[in-house]
Structure 1
Amino acid sequence: MPLQRFTQVYGIQDAKISPLLTDPAAGTPTYGPAIDVPGIKTYEISGEIEVKTLRGDNKKLATNSALTNVQVAITHAKMSLDVLAAIIGGSVTDTGTTPAQKTSWDLTGSNANFPPFKLEGVTPPNGVDIIGGDVHVVMHKLTCSAFPDLGFAEEDYRIASFTADADPLISTDKWISVVINETAAAIA
């Protein structure tokens, strides 16, 4: 019997970003190593549709809709220098030795290149109707659409967030993939 094509979706357990390295017209896209989005809290997808209506003979004759944008909004509990470098550019540098180690992310005018990336999120096991299963949502090609929310908050935790716009892959034309797994699987 085939797996059911509907499910509840409860929670998010993990999310990872992978830099898009190549997207050849006749081939398979390649991605860099997956980078954890630490403390993932929300993974929200929205879209924009342009609707055109044809009227004539004093009535509506036809309607046509076209997808014009897909956007994702992410919030995560911990700031990650590697995530910042993956979504807007810059470089991460580790220096020093214990007890004076440092790690820093530096963004300059020449390395703020907003590279494309893949984002994959997953529910916890049993966060779906299928006992032991999960759901993965993959955005295949994203580009950051606003500067990430960073900084500090007085007497409170500062939640990091970013938004990105999706484009279809040149190689496969995929924008989004939603996969229901009978057996929970880690993000590759």
Structure 2
Amino acid sequence: MPISRVTKLYSVQDAKIAPLTADPAGGAATYGALIDVPGIQEMAISGDVEVKTLRGDNVKLASNSAITNIQVAVTHAKLSLDVLAAILGGTVTDSGTGAAEVSTWDLTGTNATLPPFKLEGVTPPDGVDIVGGDLHWILHKLKLSSFPDVGFANEDFRVVSFTADADPLLANGKWISAVLNETAAAIA
């Protein structure tokens, strides 16, 4: 008997992104190494639907709707230079030794590429109705829709956030997937 297709959603325990490295039409999409989104706090998914209405004889005759966009807004507690490079472009370089080690993320006019990436988030085990199960949201091909919210806050922690729009994969047409597992599984 299949598991229930109805569940509560409680919290988010982990999220990772992966650079999209290939998306051949009719082939298989490939991704780079997973990068942790540190201190994930929220992953809010929304979409836009465009409705066209046909009118005539002074009445509504028909209407048609189409999904025109899927968007995700992500908030996380800690800044990751590797996440910035994966979603904005740029380069991360390490230098120095011992107590003089430095990691630098640089974004220039030529390396601000806004590369496509995958995002996957997961509930904690038991964050769904199935005891020991979980739910994964997967957005297969994203691009930033605005510059990430970064910086400082006076006498407070500064959280990081970004918003991205989904495109369907050329390989299989997927925009978004919800995977409900009977047994909790790590993001892979």
Mapped to 2, the partners of 1:19 and 1:137 lie a distance apart of: 17
TM-score of the superposition, structure 2-length normalised? 0.99
Residue of structure 1 in register with 2:15 after alignment: 15
Mapped to 1, the partners of 2:141 and 2:150 lie a distance apart of: 23
Mapped to 2, the partners of 1:49 and 1:43 lie a distance apart of: 20
Give the count of matched residue pairs.
Answer: 188
Residue of structure 1 in register with 2:34 after alignment: 34
Mapped to 2, the partners of 1:26 and 1:100 lie a distance apart of: 49
Residue of structure 1 in register with 2:47 after alignment: 47
Deviation of the 1:168 alpha carbon: 0.2
Residue of structure 1 in register with 2:177 after alignment: 177
Cα deviations by residue, 1:92-135 (Å, 9 ceiling, x for unpaired): 01111111101010000000000000000000000000000000
Mapped to 1, the partners of 2:130 and 2:4 lie a distance apart of: 9
Mapped to 1, the partners of 2:183 and 2:5 lie a distance apart of: 15
Q: What is the aligned-residue RMSD (CA, Å)? A: 0.5
After TM superposition, the structure 1 = structure 2 runs for residues 56-95 of structure 1, keeping only pairs within 5 Å, are: 56-95=56-95
Mapped to 1, the partners of 2:165 and 2:26 lie a distance apart of: 24
SS of residue matched to 1:99: helix
Deviation of the 1:55 alpha carbon: 1.1
Mapped to 2, the partners of 1:135 and 1:17 lie a distance apart of: 16
**5+ long unaligned stretches in structure 2:** none
Residue of structure 1 in register with 2:3 after alignment: 3
Cα deviations by residue, 1:55-78 (Å, 9 ceiling, x for unpaired): 112211111001111110000000
Cα deviations by residue, 1:149-185 (Å, 9 ceiling, x for unpaired): 1100000000100000000000100000000000000
Residue of structure 2 in register with 1:155 after alignment: 155
Residues 1:186 and 2:186 aligned together: yes
After TM superposition, which residue ranges in structure 1, 4 or more long, deviate above 3 angstroms? none
Cα deviations by residue, 1:29-51 (Å, 9 ceiling, x for unpaired): 00000000000000001111110
